[in-house]
Amino acid sequence: MKNSIDAPYGAPDKVRKICLRYANRGSDLIEVLHDVQAVLGFVDETTQKEIAEALNITRAEVHGVISFYDDFRSEAAPGTIVRVCRGEACQSMGAENLLPVAEELTKGRPRIGVEAVYCLGNCALAPAVTVGGTLHGRVEKDHLVAIVEHAALADEASE
Amino acid sequence: MPVHRQPDFGTPAKNGADVSLKIDGVEVIVPEGTSVMRAAREIERDIPKLCATDTLEAFGSCRLCLVEIEGVRGTPASCTTPVSEGMEVTTQSPRLEKLRRGVMELYLSDHPLECLTCAVNGICELQDMAGAIGVRDVRYGYAGENHFDTIHADPVDLSNPYFQFEASKCIVCSRCVRACDEVQGTLALSVQGRGFGSKISAGLLSEDFFASECVSCGVCVAACPTATLSEAALVAHGAPTRSVETTCAYCGVGCSFRAEMQGDKVIRMVPSKDGGANEGHSCVKGRFAFGYATHRDRITTPMVRDKVTDPWRVVGWDEAIGFAAKRLKSIVAEHGKEAIGGITSSRCTNEEVYVVQKMIRAAFGSNNVDTCARVCHAPTGYGLKTAFGTSAGTQNFASVEQADTILVIGANPTAAHPVFASRMKQRIRAGAKLIVIDPRRIELVKSPHISADYHIPLQPGTNVAVLNAFAHVAATEGLLDNAFIKQRCEDDSFADWLAFVSEEKNSPEAVADIVGVEAATIREAARLYAGAENSAIYYGLGVTEHSQGSTSVMAMANLAMATGNIGREGVGVNPLRGQNNVQGSCDMGSFPHEFPGYRSVEDDAVRASFEKDWGVSLSAKPGLRIPGMFDEALAGKYLGIFIQGEDIAQSDPNTKHVTAALKAMECVVIQDLFLNETAAYAHVFLPGTSFLEKDGTFTNAERRINRVRPVMKEKCAMAEWQVAAALATAMGYEMAYTSSAEIMDEIARLTPTFARVSHKRLDEEGSMQWPVTDAAPDGTPIMHENGFVRGKGHFVITDFVATEERISRKFPLILTTGRILSQYNVGAQTRRTKNSKWHDEDVLEIHPHDAGQRGISNGDMISITSRMGNTTLRAEISERMAPGVVYTTFHHPLTGTNVITTDNSDWATSCPEYKVTAVEVKLSNQQSDWQSKQREIAATHYKTEPAE
């Protein structure tokens, strides 16, 4: 699979600096990935190679870790990410009804992405959803549409 | 019936105190640390398993090997549970049966049920386990499907030419991933994703197996319990039906393989877990690159011609041997016995080499026998014999597992000795320190999970200066092992040596400029070597192929003795031998001054023993070395040569000199698999046998005598020892053997270090490391344990003398040569396999600075010129090289690397100085004259294509 977007200009320098921050220790791969993603937004294959080289580990190891965790991305993320919890508590409180609503919102709008998560630790306020990293509890359908549209507007404005 | 598989104990063997336990009521005693699974297998109570195999540590993921243990709650996995005293284990019960069935149902619910048309039908562990567990129904459905979309998203990965990867057959046991990590040490594989979506992946998402870091050693394929990773030949032809245990014919590691066959066809070579050298591991050459043995380029009938300009005439064996004998005899009649001789091959068996040297000494009547070790490890033989009394490495391979500091000098094990390199890398990952002395930044200097503590990128040709500096640091900083020296070494030669190395001229500060490396680095590395509990030296042709090759070997021997690093596990001076039987061919009396067992031809008592046994009087005069043969040929005094399996026109230095000498001869007899470069100058071509047809023994770099067994009949109808015996007989010296075993009996009778060796013992007891004597009837893994073979260890003064090959304004760069993983030596074999997919031409590695100065970009054709000649090849810009040094390989004949190498050689043994040639490199768009001429010849003679 080919990545549609390459890492931004100057990325290799930034990546090397981050690796150096962890003394190029292979055992700190996850920390490095977090920091790289925080700076670049995602970790594309070119960057994965850079990291492997700097930490003196294999490309396969880097790829294995990135592909294991949903939070690590090898492609640029959509501007607005909606995460709907599908854990037991949220399911029992109607989260399954929220998913089609969220998916409906993405139609024709590539800058909105919907993902499933399994527990946001907000069970007491189920169903839980995060939009653009902000946690919302007791979410209902209309409420969800409003939050997402609001976030999408902000995203478009920032574009 | 599918081939019988080697038993699998599930988890590796352990060493420890005896532990007694009961399994299904049967008492069993195993070493502490052994798993319950392995203990059960010891009494043939196999516990079902999928993720466990005895080449890997226990993983505990498949949940099939559950057992019940008295007093323990639940059903622990037997692979991850170590035995304990008094333990009572039950391996079979209704509860276990139910659990295992449940697990197996889950596996089968996502596995294609196409067993009858599957590549591993009959040799599949999943199939075996399903049978043993008795699954009769799959509650989750068994429509024969798998969640992978093999047509679109996850097609079969066919990128590797030798094996394929089919994700839909995978049960994600991780055996491949762990084997790549724990055995090979490459870590090219990982599990991509998680849970149900897990998929084995090579390299990055966009990479297939070929593009990944995979080195195609095949360890993952051997570890796979299903058809997910399968040899291409297995897919094409089906399961093998019989197997023969034999020895690989590539490098000096000497791996044991099971040749798995259908009739006369080799389906696959599977590394044998019983192999003393490899213990179940392999590399891309031994595991996969055997197709040359049945390649259509093989010449299987004898051929003769009066003049080398005539076309070859196919003849019968009698005529060919008669033709050769008549010509050789007429040369002797006219010019005397000294006018003919021969070269033995390090690719052939001990028995074959022994018979050829006997033919030359007894039938030709001179000691004009030499071997290709002349151009590689002759300095090792000379140097180690002088210091220790034995022309061989001191350790077994397993010894490296006890080393604390490893010094690699002039060797590139990951390319040239990959199976041993894996063992070494595992030791380094476990904490051993590493010093690399090499002009090139080889893989061991830095590669995933490996990082040398010190890399000394010395100027080629300055090994002796570095080693003297190491000794200087040890001697002047109080790091010598005085107790060892006093007890084990000569007082006088040590005192002289101590005074010598202590001189200021040998200090790191004094040699730093010559070596081209900072003094502090040399000093610290020397401290690391001399200060460790166990330090081991491993070296290769980067040490020996120099004008001071023998001096370097002796300098290493001095250093090891002075620091007490000889005579136990984890230490030693270890040559990594290039060819499968270079140790053996030297042992077998291939040198012009030595009978088998390295005993001088001038020694009357030794000579008398051979004269008595062979029934002929023998010359006491040492014969000609290979370079001497060429010189005498050009002088018109050496006119006939028998060349056993060696391509001197490609492999020996200064090609034009070699071919001129061959042209000057009246009778050139070659025995080979293919019409090689040398064949262009031959009058008689005698077809040889590949290792798959040979019956005999190879001796590896750790002195291990391994059996080589024929898996098919000779393609040319005669064994090589039969040919030599027939030629000797035709020359007038009656020689007759009924079998290869009989030859080994004669070797044992006449060679003290082989006294207790016989094919019968090797077949019954497995490989042995010489000396195999009455004192050491099972062989000698570690040499010089209680004293040196020569008595006391001898120190030699090792003054550094720079080579005469110097850089100048006209030739400002130094060329050094080496090997690559996928190709082997002159490439006669590997070029006839799909290994060329990895390396289809030789390239010149050049530092960006040197390339920039000359306007050379990556991939440009360049011409390289030395004082001897010039050739053209492609440039590869690489920071592996230091500025001022360029590097290439010599695997392809048209590269003509040796057209540019010089006549310089080791002062003691005439081993050529391949590693140092002053050159200039320029952009070029045309072939050299030599190459144009060769291309014309090649168009008609040497066309090669990969085997089917």
What confidence tier does A70 reach under pLDDT thresholds 50, 70, 90?
confident
Do B559 and B641 have their domain in common?
no
Q: pLDDT tens digits, residue range B678-731?
A: 999 999 999 999 999 999 999 999 999 999 999 999 999 999 999 999 999 999
Residue A67 has its nearest CB partner, among B193, B207, B447, at B193
pLDDT surpassing 90 at residue B78: yes
Find the residue in B nearest to A70 (Cα).
B193
B702 in the same domain as B586: yes
Q: Which of A26, A56, A60 sits opposite B203 (nearest CB)?
A: A60
* Statement: residue B568 has pLDDT above 50: yes
Query: Tell me, what's the pLDDT at A133?
Result: 85
Torsion of CA B373, B715, B942, B350, to 10 degrees: 0
pTM over 0.90: yes
List of chain B residues whose C-beta atoms are within 8 Å of the C-beta of residue A49: 204
Task: Write out chain B residues lying below 8 Å of A48, CB-based.
Answer: 204
B95 close contact with A: CB closer than 8 A: no
The two tokens of residue B505 are 């001229």
Confidence at residue A55, expressed as pLDDT on a 0 to 100 scale: 96
Distance CA B310, CA B305 (A): 6
pLDDT of res. B924: 87
| Cβ–Cβ contact B153 with A under 8 A | no
| CA atoms of A71 and B29, how far apart (whole Å) | 50
Q: What is the pLDDT of residue A6?
A: 53
Q: Kindly tell me the sign of the dihedral angle through the C-alpha atoms of B598, B601, B606, B611.
A: positive
Which pair of structure tokens corresponds to residue B57? 């540590």
Choose among A2, A59, A68: nearest Cβ to B194.
A68
pLDDT value at residue B824: 87
Kindly tell me if the per-residue pLDDT of B935 is higher than 80: no
Q: How far is B275 from chain A (nearest CA, A)?
A: 29
Q: Do the domain assignments include residue B44?
A: yes
Distances (CA, A) of A98 to A105, A126, A142: 11, 12, 10
Beta bridge partners of B687: B672
Between A2, A56, A61, which is nearest B206 by CB?
A2
- The band of B333, judged by pLDDT with boundaries at 50, 70 and 90, is very high
The tokens describing A32, both together, are 């490095």
Nearest-Cα residue of chain B relative to residue A64: B192
Convert the pLDDT of each residue in B114-170 to its tens digit.
899 999 999 999 999 999 999 888 888 766 567 777 777 788 999 999 999 999 999
Among the three residues B45, B70, B92, which one is the final residue of a domain in this structure?
Answer: B92
In angstroms, what separates the C-alpha of B221 from chain A's closest C-alpha?
Answer: 17
B414 with B505, same domain: the answer is yes
In 3D, which of B104, B17, B32, B34 has the Cα closest to residue B66?
B104
Q: What's the pLDDT band for B897 if we cut at 50, 70, 90?
A: confident
Given CB atoms, is B204 within the 8 Å cutoff of chain A? yes
**Residue in B closest to A55 by C-alpha:** B448
Q: What residues contact B766, with CB distance under 8 A and at least 6 apart?
A: B274, B276
Q: Is residue B761 domain-resident? A: no
User: What residue ranges do the domains of chain A occupy?
Assistant: 11-68, 80-158
Tokens in use for B494?
């040590």
Q: Does B211 touch chain A (CB under 8 A)?
A: no
Last residue of a domain, one of B553, B575, B597: B575
Residues 6+ apart with CB under 8 A from B859: B874, B875, B876
Torsion angles phi and psi, residue A33, rounded to 5: -60, -40
> Within 10 Å of residue B916's Cβ, how many Cβ atoms?
27
Q: Which amino acid is at B810?
A: K
CATH code (residue B872): 2.40.40.20
Single-letter residue type at B898: N
DSSP for B293-353, written as a single string:
GG-TT---S-EE-SSTTSPPEE--HHHHHHHHHHHHHHHHHHH-GGGEEEEE-TTS-HHHH
User: Are B170 and B25 part of one and the same domain?
Assistant: no
B533 within some domain: yes
Q: Give yes or no for B192 touching A (CB within 8 A).
A: yes
Region B165-191: what's the mean pLDDT?
95
Q: How far is Cα B23 from Cα B35, in angstroms, rounded to an integer?
A: 12
Which residue in chain B has the smallest CA separation from A54? B448
Please state, as a whole number, how many other Cβ atoms lie within 10 Å of the Cβ of residue B94.
7
Highest-scoring range by mean pLDDT, A114-123, B366-375, B463-472: B463-472
> B193 — contact with chain A (CB < 8 Å)?
yes
Same domain, B562 and B677: no
The number of residues making up chain A comes to 159
Among A1, A56, A62, the residue with its CB nearest the CB of B449 is A56
The answer to which of A146-150, B208-212, B280-284, B664-668 has the lowest mean pLDDT is A146-150
Q: Quote the percentage of chain A above a pLDDT of 90.
A: 65
Instruction: Provide the chain A residues 2-41 that lie in CB contact (below 8 A) with chain B.
Output: 2, 26
The Cα of A74 is separated from the nearest Cα of chain B by a number of Å equal to 9
Contact between A63 and B212 using a beta-carbon 8 Å cutoff: no
- Residue B138: give its domain's CATH number: 3.30.70.20
| Number of CB atoms found within 10 A of residue A97's CB | 14
Q: Do B568 and B635 lie in a common domain?
A: no
Residues B324 and B318: their CA atoms lie apart, in Å, by: 10
Distance CA B57, CA B59 (A): 6
Residues 451-510 of B with CB under 8 A from A: 451
Nearest chain A residue to B209 by CA distance is A60
Give the domain-ending residue among B516, B549, B575.
B575
Per-residue pLDDT at B555: 96
User: Using the beta-carbon criterion (under 8 Å), do B449 and A64 form an inter-chain contact?
Assistant: no
Which residues of chain A does B191 touch, with a Cβ-Cβ cutoff of 8 Å? 64, 68
Q: Which pLDDT band holds residue B927 (cuts at 50, 70, 90)?
A: confident
Tens-digit pLDDT profile for residues B471-489: 999 999 999 999 999 999 9
Q: What is the mean pLDDT of residues B20-41?
A: 96
Quick one: B505 exposed, middle or buried, by C-beta within 10 A (0-12, 13-18, 19+)? Answer: middle
pLDDT at A119: 92
Distance CA B538, CA B393 (A): 9
Both B321 and B449 in a single domain? no
What integer best gives the mean pLDDT of chain B? 93
The region that residue A138 occupies, defined by phi over 0 for left and psi between -120 and 50 for alpha, beta otherwise, is left
* B188/A1 CB distance under 8 A: no
Chain centroid, CA B151 distance in Å: 40
To the nearest whole Å, the CA of B599 is away from the closest chain A CA by: 50
Same domain, B368 and B410: no
CATH assignment at residue B398:
3.40.228.10
DSSP B642-679: EEES--HHHHSSSHHHHHHHHHT-SEEEEEESS--TGG
- Which structural domain, as residue segments, surrounds residue B826? 813-941
Q: How many domains does chain B have?
A: 5
| B601 and B735 co-located in one domain | yes
Percent of all residues in chain A with a pLDDT value above 70, rounded to a whole number: 93
Closest CA to B793 of B384, B392, B474, B501: B384
Position A1 pLDDT exceeds 50: no
Domain match, B904 and B830 both: yes
Structural fold of domain A80-158: Glutaredoxin (3.40.30)
A67, A68, A69, A70: which to substitute to probe chain B, counting the most B Cβ within 10 Å?
A67
On the question of pLDDT at A10 being above 70, the answer is no
Q: Are B754 and B748 in contact (CB under 8 A)?
A: yes
Number of A to B CB contacts under 8 A, please give it: 64
Look at residue B215 in the predicted model and tell me its pLDDT: 96
Q: Is the minimum CB–CB distance between B191 and chain A shorter than 8 Å?
A: yes
Same domain, B171 and B161: yes
Residue B102 lies in a domain: yes
> Across the strands, what pairs with B881?
B440
Same-domain status, B340 and B385: no
**Contacts with A63 from chain B: Cβ below 8 Å:** 190, 192, 201, 203-205
Q: CA B716, CA B798: separation in Å to the nearest integer?
A: 49
B188 touches chain A (CB under 8 A): yes
Query: Which of B174, B178, B190 is the best mutation test for A, with the most CBs of A within 10 A?
Result: B190
Q: Which of B191, B206, B207 sits opposite A64 (nearest CB)?
A: B191
Q: Do A64 and B448 touch (CB under 8 A)?
A: no
Q: Is A56 on the interface with B (CB under 8 A)?
A: yes
- Token match 């996995």: residue? B77
